[in-house]
């Protein structure tokens, strides 16, 4: 009996030490509260409303999610922090604000927290943490979800100290300056873009018969480039803009000696774009509907090129990538396109579009890259 009791207390001690160790894991960033003026601007630029579920990763004292539900009418707020003291403080603040029925606080590692039901994510972390978090945001959030960060962006490389322009990385959709009680703060805003890379096809009936359209798009985060072909005559697209699921672009060409501009806009839903095109000039001027379908491709497989081998697998509904047996942490798949960093030390950024059994793209935006399916 004495030996059993000794074993019991030994197990209790082991679990207690394990729990204490988990609690004592240091936070990724020091706790510095976001001024209330900045909180309001972050929630305002994200247009938080009654249909939104707001997650604050690294929630501190809970002020952002509390303000989201109390002042902006969000449906629900979730705060995540690894520090148990911050979680206790957040729960007390929620009780004082009378919003405990609409907010909850999780003592968790923000990299492990499930965020799929979030429509808005707020951050006040560090640039390196934001960049590490970036692939998770793209994997788990739906297109159209909004992300707001206090003071820190998601660039791998900027034009210079304090610059708002990313040379490499995810350029913000908006950058705002907010005056706080002691200094000026910066608010960065992004919208998760739909995956539009690939080849899209549709046809249009005209008095002269059916015309075939082929749109070929490449994508790098929300930046879109490509060409459009009408009955085999190809021209580049211009003014391409992708905000969430809303895509727009234009093309200008000579038709029968007349300059014709076509301005397309549409909503992306998986492998379908539905929208309208406004035609200016020419005999077919006016507004018409268009519905495009994307060619089906299979990204899963082993892709080989002179410099290496990339293996893409599907796990739990998500695409993951490996170089050899090493996971590629900075990997993105948007539609038929992929983007990944092969070696952060050498800063080799690969991007390309899958077409059948090959990938065609660039390395660091310049050198041509082609890979074949093994």
pLDDT digits (tens, 9 = 90+) for 330-358: 999 999 999 998 865 557 889 999 999 99
**183 has a pLDDT exceeding 90:** yes
pLDDT digits (tens, 9 = 90+) for 73-126: 999 999 999 999 999 999 999 999 999 999 999 999 999 999 999 999 999 999
3-state per-residue secondary structure call for the chain: CHHHHHHHHHHHHHHHHHHHHHHCCCCCCCCCCCCHHHHHHHHHHCCCCCCCEEEEECCCCCHHHHHHHHCCCCCEEEEEECCHHHHHHHHHHHHHHCCCCCEEEEECCCCCCCCCCCCEEEECCCHHHHHHHHHHHHHHCCCCCEEEEECCCEEEEECCCCCCCEEEEECCCEEEEEECCCCEEEEEEEECCCCCEEEEEEEEEECCEEEEEEEEEEEECCEEEEEEEECCEEEECEEEEEECCEEEEEEEEEECCEEEEEEEEEEEECCEEEEEEEEECCCCCEEEEEEEEECCCCCCEEEEECCEEEEEEEECCEEEEEECCEECCCEEEEECEEEEEEECCCCEEEEEEEECCEEEEEECCCEEEEEEEC
pLDDT digits (tens, 9 = 90+) for 268-288: 999 999 999 998 887 677 898
Q: What pLDDT sits at residue 317?
A: 84
Q: pLDDT category, 159, cuts 50, 70, 90?
A: low
**22 has a pLDDT exceeding 80:** no
Q: pLDDT category, 6, cuts 50, 70, 90?
A: very low
Q: What pLDDT sits at residue 284?
A: 72
Q: What pLDDT sits at residue 247?
A: 98
pLDDT digits (tens, 9 = 90+) for 225-264: 999 998 888 999 999 999 999 999 999 987 767 888 999 9
Compute the average pLDDT of residues 213-233. Answer: 93
- Residues above pLDDT 70, as percent of the chain: 89
Q: pLDDT category, 4, cuts 50, 70, 90?
A: very low
**34 has a pLDDT exceeding 80:** yes
What value does the mean pLDDT of the chain take? 89
* Least confident interval from 155-159, 221-225, 297-301: 155-159
Q: What pLDDT sits at residue 165?
A: 65
Q: What pLDDT sits at residue 109?
A: 95
Model pTM score? 0.88
Q: Mind listing the domains of the chain with CATH numbers?
A: 36-191 (3.40.50.150), 198-294 (2.40.128.120), 301-373 (no CATH)
CA distance 272 to 275: 10
Q: What pLDDT sits at residue 1?
A: 42
Compute the average pLDDT of residues 200-208. Answer: 83
Better-scored residue on pLDDT, 205 or 361: 361
Q: Using N-to-C axis directions, what is the helix angle for 63-70 and 36-45, rounded to 10°?
A: 60
Q: What pLDDT sits at residue 209?
A: 73
């Amino acid at each position: 009996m004495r030996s059993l009791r000794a074993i019991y207390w030994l197990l209790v001690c082991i679990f207690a030490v394990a729990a204490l160790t988990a609690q004592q894991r240091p936070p990724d960033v020091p706790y510095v509260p976001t001024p209330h003026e900045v909180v309001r601007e972050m929630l305002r630029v994200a247009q938080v409303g009654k249909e939104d579920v707001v997650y604050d990763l690294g929630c501190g004292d809970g002020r952002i999610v509390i303000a989201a539900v109390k002042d902006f009418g969000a449906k629900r707020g979730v705060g995540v922090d690894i520090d148990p003291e911050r979680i206790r403080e957040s729960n007390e603040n929620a009780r004082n604000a009378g919003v405990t029925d609409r907010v909850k606080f999780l003592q968790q590692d923000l990299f492990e927290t499930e965020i799929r039901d979030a429509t808005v994510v707020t951050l006040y972390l560090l640039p390196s943490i934001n960049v590490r978090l970036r692939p998770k945001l793209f994997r788990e959030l739906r297109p159209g979800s909004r992300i707001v960060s206090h003071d820190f962006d998601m660039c791998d490389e900027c034009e210079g100290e304090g610059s708002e322009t990313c040379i490499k990385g995810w350029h913000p959709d908006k950058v705002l300056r907010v005056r706080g009680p002691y200094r000026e703060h910066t608010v960065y805003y992004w919208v998760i873009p739909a995956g539009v890379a690939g080849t899209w096809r549709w046809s249009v009936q005209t008095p002269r018969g059916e015309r075939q359209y082929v749109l070929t798009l490449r994508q790098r985060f929300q930046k879109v480039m490509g060409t459009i072909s009408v009955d085999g005559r190809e021209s580049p697209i211009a003014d391409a803009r992708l905000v969430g699921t809303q895509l727009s672009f234009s093309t200008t060409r000579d038709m029968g000696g007349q300059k014709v501009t076509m301005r397309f806009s549409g909503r992306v839903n998986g492998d379908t774009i539905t929208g309208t095109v406004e035609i200016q000039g020419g005999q077919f001027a006016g507004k018409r509907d268009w519905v495009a379908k994307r060619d089906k491709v299979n990204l899963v497989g082993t892709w080989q090129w002179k410099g290496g081998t990339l293996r893409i697998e599907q796990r739990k509904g998500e695409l993951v990538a490996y170089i050899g047996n090493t996971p590629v942490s900075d990997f993105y798949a948007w539609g038929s396109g992929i983007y990944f960093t092969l070696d952060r030390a050498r800063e080799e950024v690969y991007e390309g579009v899958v077409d059948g059994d090959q990938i065609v793209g660039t390395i660091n935006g310049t050198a041509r890259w082609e890979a074949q399916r093994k």
